[in-house]
Structure 1
Amino acid sequence: MKRNLTLGLLLGAAVSGSALAQDLTGTWQQIDDKSGSPKAIIEISKESNGTYTGQIVKITPRPGYTPQKTCNNCPAPYTNQPILGMDILKGLKHVEGTGNYERGRVIDPLAGKVYDAKMKLNASGKRLTLRAYMGVSALGRSQTWIRLD
């Protein structure tokens, strides 16, 4: 009986630990897929409808780069919005039983383009891969985000 209780507690802890690893909420360092350098810090939160939203909370300074302050070439409702504080990621939905999130939209405020988005959280919950694409995922680009909290 005692052995079954211990086994049950261990199994319960493993399941709850993996459930926590599946949560996107928190602070993430966005890594530029071209240069490999840190680009911005994104705060991801869960909305009341169960989707996830990501907001730029800090633009990471990089040598030789002057950050753009507004989203000049962006479509409405992003036109001329400040990049700092902008919701760049919207509508991501968790795929039950996986570390995958799909059906989101992401905006690149430097290029002014909106893409379809999906994300995959690794097993440890410390790395996130964002796939941004138009139409077909195979024709998109991927970025790695690293959990800060």
Structure 2
Amino acid sequence: MIQKLALGIAVIFGSLSTLAMAQDLAGTWQQIDDKTGSPKAVIEIRKEANQTYTGKIVKVTPRPGYTPRELCNKCPAPYTDQPILGMDILKGLQQVKNSNNYEKGRVIDPLAGRIYDAKIRLNSTGKRLTLRAYMGVSTLGRSQTWIRIQ
């Protein structure tokens, strides 16, 4: 009897951990500046028909002493002189099978005009993600935390 109960509990916890790992990246996220810790923008991430994820700036968060830039600064085509609000800044992310990891994406920094490789790790609750932007080698990049907006 005790063995059946233990097996049942193990199955339930196994199912719960699978559900936690099945969290979807799609949703609305508050981008947090990795240097200042203050909110920067609101990003809406959507799942595309080809099963990749794309993130668009839907709101630029006002910060004291900072006038938000309206156009993509020194950005390569097709971003050149495009409005930052409404811009797809995150593209091509693919979920790593059976995990909360997403990789093979690209992210543009519209303030610096640079495009970086990107990967994301979604935490187990699905309420925070860590975006890692880098050029070539992940260890030489920077990370940002984004918080899911309900």
TM-score (norm 2): 0.89
Tell me if 1:90 matches 2:91: yes
Counterpart of 1:58 in structure 2 is 59
Counterpart of 2:42 in structure 1 is 41
1:11 CA displacement: 5.3
Q: CA–CA distance in 2 between the matches of 1:12 and 1:123?
A: 14
Moved over 3 A (4+): 6-13
Matches within 5 A, 1:1-149: 10=12, 14=16, 17-21=19-23, 23-149=24-150
TM-score (norm 1): 0.90
Amino acid corresponding to residue 31 of structure 2 in structure 1: Q
SS of 1:14's equivalent?
A: helix
Amino acid corresponding to residue 14 of structure 1 in structure 2: L
1:101 CA displacement: 0.4
Contiguous gaps of at least 5 residues in structure 2: none
1:72 CA displacement: 2.8
1:97 CA displacement: 1.5
Contiguous gaps of at least 5 residues in structure 1: none
